[in-house]
Amino acid sequence: MSSFVIKIPCSSANIGPGFDVIGLALSLHLDLHVTVEAKPSSQLPFNCAITYEDQSKSVEQISLDPEVNLITRVALYVLRCHDQRAFPVETKVHIVNPIPLGRGLGSSGTAVVAGVMLGNEVGKLGLSKERLLDFCLMIERHPDNVAASLFGGFVGTYLNELKPEDVARKEIPLSEVLPAPAGGVDTGIRPPAPPMAIGHYRKFNWAPEIKAIAIIPNFVVPTANARNVLPETYSRADVVFNLQRAALLPAALGSSPPDPDMIFLAMQDKVHQPYRKTLIPGLTEILQFMTPATQPGLLGICLSGAGPTILALATDRFTEIADRIIAQFASNDISCQWKLLEPAHDGATVTYN
Ligand SMILES: Nc1ncnc2c1ncn2[C@@H]1O[C@H](COP(=O)(O)OP(=O)(O)O)[C@@H](O)[C@H]1O
Ligand SMILES: N[C@@H](CCOP(=O)(O)O)C(=O)O
């Protein structure tokens, strides 16, 4: 029998002006406790039994069917790209999840990273994390959250200009990558493997004084809905506004001691937050009144991922900062929880027992 634990940090994507580009791994981890018992055969669908421990108090029921559950479905995708049709007999996966679902802390990206790590490990595929990022990008399609969860820390990400033959492959619809569940029947079709080296990342410094406060409203904004409210095109002025701030952000957040005015300025955005305000009551007011001038200890503030979580970066007065943001949400009849988090520098890890 082999037994191991896969640990994946959650993420806050789109830091400041870095829509689809800049992500931060945070100290709230999804754990998979995996055992593989060498048995001659199994009655389990795809040889896999899932148990799920919800520590996130989410209302959504997570499927325990290995062909439906996002983590095991992604693992099956990676295995099938390598001609392994099912999990090894007999695989048990116990998922412990403290990451709230659909709140902008990268629960789906973290689950996708967990899935590729799981497939790689049980299939003994020996793929590098760089290659696993390609598999993640066939599903998640933007690199900022998955690269943060996979590699850890504060990352800038980008997609390669692909060769013409690979450009067509990158557009493969998700339904071909993760086909709809076939009711426990293995169709035998080999899914499309990702082109090589789609996604890349660069780690930036993070000043140790800076902590991350996540204020998590008690409602869900599915990332797909939050992408649908974004425009197809932007004005030159708005693009230049974000580029100027994105050029400043890594230096601002990597310099010690942190300069609140520079960080606040470097975290402004005109590419996604103005449009997502329509989905998040109170966001406009929060972004207007929370500044280093009005709130000592605060450095910068932005929407985490696709929202509705607010990410406030600060050096101290954490409770006071969280309470003020929670009060603003409360005036819109929205309750919140909050967490004080730190960057998770290690990224995804596997530890054998
Ligand atoms: N640990 C998990 N196991 C299975 N599915 C998950 C897990 N975490 C997230 N998901 C799926 O991802 C969805 C949330 O994705 P998304 O809308 O992108 O929000 P988020 O901002 O949390 O990533 C959930 O509704 C659920 O279907
Ligand atoms: N860049 C993406 C990030 C989505 O992050 P999530 O945490 O909401 O899944 C986007 O803004 O759509």
What is the model's pLDDT at position 175? 86
Average pLDDT over residues 22-42: 96
Question: Average pLDDT of 96-108?
Answer: 98
Query: What is the interface pTM, i.e. ipTM, of the complex?
Result: 0.99
Spell out the residues 6+ positions from residue 5 whose beta carbon is closer than 8 angstroms to its own. 31, 32, 33, 34, 350, 351, 353
Amino acid making up residue 293:
A
pLDDT digits (tens, 9 = 90+) for 245-299: 999 999 999 999 999 999 999 999 999 999 999 999 999 999 999 999 999 999 9
Indicate the DSSP class of residue 333: T
Which residue from 87, 61, 89 is spatially nearest to 73, judged by alpha carbons?
87
Mean pLDDT of the chain: 95
Residue 5 near residue 32 (C-beta atoms within 8 A)? yes
Distance 14 CA to ligand 2 centre (A): 7
| pLDDT tens figures, 200-219 | 999 999 999 999 999 999 99
Q: How far is the CA of 22 from the centre of ligand 2 (A)?
A: 11
Q: Is 347 left (phi over 0), alpha (psi -120 to 50) or beta?
A: left
Pocket mutation for ligand 1, best pick of 14, 29, 30, 101 (most atoms within 8 Å of C-beta): 101
Q: Do 211 and 341 touch, CB atoms closer than 8 A?
A: yes
The one-character DSSP state at 197 is: T
Q: Rounded CA gap, 175 and 190, in Å? A: 13
